[in-house]
Structure 1
Amino acid sequence: MWIAQTSAVADASRGAGEGGWLLDPELVDPAFSQTVAGGEIQTAFPPPPPPPAPPPEWLTSLYEAIGRFFDWSAPAAKPLMWVAVALVALYLLYHFVPAFARWVDALRFRARRSDADDADRAGAAEAGAARALLAEADALAAAGRFAEAVHLLLHRSVEDIETRRPGLVKPAITSRDLAEARDLPPVARGAFSRIARAVEISLFGGRAIDAGAWDQCRAAYADLTVARNWTRA
């Protein structure tokens, strides 16, 4: 302000000395003060903006964790890139090279056929064991020993459940508990229940197992040996 006022007075004196019109300082000072007081002329620098607030601590920790992850995974980035390139190449070969696609399909078919053959062999072995058991039970029934025959079916049924549902058969579990187990599929549970009920009636109810009861238990055990009866509905 003082510089501006001095400049104005100097200009007025120079103008007066050069023969121009005279500026009266008494008129200049009030006008200058009034102009500056209006606030339209900047007379000082504005204050600097406040520094930006630091990011929250959780965001800083997240950035650091991401950085550590990339540092840790950097050695594996190149092998992963080559794996991705190989997968893309195989995908393109399979969809655009018919000979390669036929070769892959043949491999998949042989793998499925091998799995099916293994399942068939396991099923054949299981069916053979079931037939041997039924033959033994039939021999007991033919001799009139129906209770022993049904007991044999019950013991083998428990073994089948233990094989197909590992962990379900426990040392202290009873036949009635197994017959009510929710982990058994409905068909298998119903078949086992018929055998277990016949044995329970024979042991605790004092009722003899006759030929009709034996036939029902034998049919129930036949249902229990069918693989699809062990699938849930």
Structure 2
Amino acid sequence: MPPKKRKRVDVENDAKDDKTVRETATNNGKRKKVLAKKKTAAPSKPAEAYSYWLMKSEPETRIENGVDVKFGIEDLKKCEDRTACWDGVRNYQARNFMRDQMKTGQLMFFYHSNCKEPGIAGICEIVKEGYPDHTQFDKKDIHYDGSSKPDAPKWYMVDVKFIRMLKRYIPLSELKVLHQQHKTTNGPLKDVALFTKARLSVQPLREQEWNYILTLEDDNKH
């Protein structure tokens, strides 16, 4: 959005600073000096750097255009070297995270979504940084995008490797209760993207959010 135009300020007898001075006609034909403030662009806020992630996938069968899109953490464990590409992301903000910010060696929570009990199942590692998602060019794939070209790809993916299951499954319902509590107590999950950016399938996590969620593994009350 372009910056709002500033109001012009009339100057009667002097211009004591170095702002640009220009003339404008008045209703009676006379001309007088008008001070026009220089436009200065507000400094852009640098993007927050993240080292941890939460990535959603569906562990239960769902047919889309004749194809089962199921891919849970158990499916990842069955892949060669327990590694797979994270393809099919078609949201620009999620794409930007994978393309621009994810780094080899960073960790992610594998989150089961669109199932009977959504929640965090395990931990994976980013083992290959962002590169073009091949499914965007495959006309037979449900994620085909005819507007994307090989010399100017729109969509990117990363490779992830299974590290371990959590000691216990941490359900969305539990995290939601904690999020509500932390909003009033200024706790570590008060701004967690799982609820503030709920629709994103690839979400950033701050270090304090990651560390707090890990402590829930050993919560014997569940």
Indicate whether the TM-score tops 0.5: no
Q: TM-score, normalised by structure 2?
A: 0.18
Larger fraction in strand: 2
Higher helix share: 1
Kindly name which structure, 1 or 2, has the bigger radius of gyration based on alpha carbons.
1
Q: Higher relative contact order at CA 8 Å, sep ≥6: structure 1 or structure 2? A: 2
TM-score, reference length from structure 1: 0.17
